[in-house]
Amino acid sequence: MKKTLFVVALVAALASLAIAQDSKTIPPASIGEKIQVRGTRTVMSSDWQRPVRHDTAPSYCNPCLLYTGDFDSANSNANGLWSGNIDFSGTTIDGELYTGFKLAAGNYTIKKVFSNALALTPLVQGGTKWTINTGTSTSGAGTSVCSGSGHTTIAATGRNGFGFNEYNFLVTAACTLTPTATTEYWLEIQQQCTSDTNACWTTSGEEIYYESDLEDNPAPNHVGPANTNDKGIWSSTYFLGGAFEVTYGSSGGCGGIGCDNFSFGLVGKHTH
């Protein structure tokens, strides 16, 4: 019965997506809202771990300082959270997703940052903004250590979910980090398309980005320091009136469905 309801809901979701393509209906904050019911806070799912793991850094993370891991659409708490700044016929739909991470003490030269996102055929007119912050919380974005807007390389990961394909968004960056063992950072990567003369919405693609949620613990192909789960912070003028909320809470965009962590990473060098 549960599978039947899921299939019916999914068909309805895809139908509504097709309508959205024609009428420019504004998308929901999280992709899970299309086929799941908002509920209470979820926890990381340990029952989805694979019995044998051979974790390997993806080709786009080289040299790989950190990769939080692969999205798993089979996890019952799988989701994706809006992470773009997009003009939908004069209405700006924004989402700033700050994903938490730690690094071992030392000196780091960051050359590229990336996120994996569930999307329709992605466009590249608007570029990509990124920032690495400290002190991000529900009180605000915190302090930017480094930020920029770099060249973006887009490539399909081969994964999919909720009727969307997943893409890797690899952004050229320049950043030096010198953490101690207790330093916490937050990375934000935001796609941009802020001048909609049908540039953000065409027959060949749409600027729709849901950063891929991670619920497997540990996530497949994780590389680097252990993930810091339940650290995500999300802000949106459109959806939250400018407030900052935890991603996993019922009011933080994902409606209590997953969003304990997200698929992202850092490329560069570490010297002790």
- Please report the DSSP string for 77-110 in residue order: T--EEE-EEEEETTEEEE-EEEEEE---SSEEEE
- Give me 252's structure tokens: 């933080």
Say how far apart CA 238 and CA 159 lie, in whole Å. 29
- Give me 271's structure tokens: 């010297």
Q: Are 80 and 213 in contact (CB under 8 A)?
A: yes
Say how far apart CA 226 and CA 162 lie, in whole Å. 28
What single-letter amino acid sits at 185?
Y
Asked if the model's pLDDT at residue 187 lies above 90, the reply is yes
pLDDT tens-digit readout, 94-149: 999 999 999 999 999 999 999 999 987 666 555 789 999 999 999 999 999 999 99
Give the mean model confidence (pLDDT) for residues 234-250. Answer: 95
CA angle at residue 24 from 22 to 28, to 5 degrees?
120
Q: Express the helix, strand and coil content of the chain in percent, nearest 5 each.
A: 10, 40, 45
What single-letter amino acid sits at 162?
F
pLDDT tens-digit readout, 211-235: 999 999 889 999 999 999 999 999 9
Q: What pTM does this model have?
A: 0.82
- Give me 81's structure tokens: 């959270």
